[in-house]
């Protein structure tokens, strides 16, 4: 399931969502390898809308860094 399927403007939908990074973002930080887990921290940022690609970012706390990530670069962790 992809993050964009649940995106809402209400921040309560953005808090503490467990996600897995599906892209390698090591160009931004050495620990941002594909498959690392993180939690969204409930902030839509100033970069939330990209007019060119109509993409949305969310702030994600990973073990060593907090960074804005495109929802399309994340996968939700489904709890059973």
| C-beta of residue 24 within 8 angstroms of C-beta of residue 33 | yes
User: pLDDT band for position 12 (50/70/90)?
Assistant: low
- Please state the rounded mean pLDDT for residues 63-78: 90
Query: Residue 21 pairs with which residues in a beta bridge?
Result: 74
pTM, full prediction: 0.69
The whole-number pLDDT of residue 13 equals 59
d(CA 69, CA 80): 25
How many domains does the chain contain in total?
A: 1
The string of pLDDT tens digits covering residues 23-69 is 999 999 999 999 999 998 865 554 444 444 445 778 899 999 999 88
Q: Domain containing 27 — which CATH number?
A: 2.30.30
Residue 7 pLDDT? 45
Print the domain residue range for 37.
Answer: 3-76
């Amino acid at each position: 399931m992809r993050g964009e399927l649940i995106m809402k403007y209400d921040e309560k939908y953005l808090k503490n969502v467990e996600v897995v990074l599906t892209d390698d973002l090591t160009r931004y930080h050495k620990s941002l390898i594909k498959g690392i887990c993180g939690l969204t921290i409930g902030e839509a940022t100033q970069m939330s809308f990209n007019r060119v690609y109509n993409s949305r970012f969310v702030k994600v706390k990973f073990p060593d860094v907090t960074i804005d990530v495109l929802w399309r670069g994340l996968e939700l962790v489904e709890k059973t």
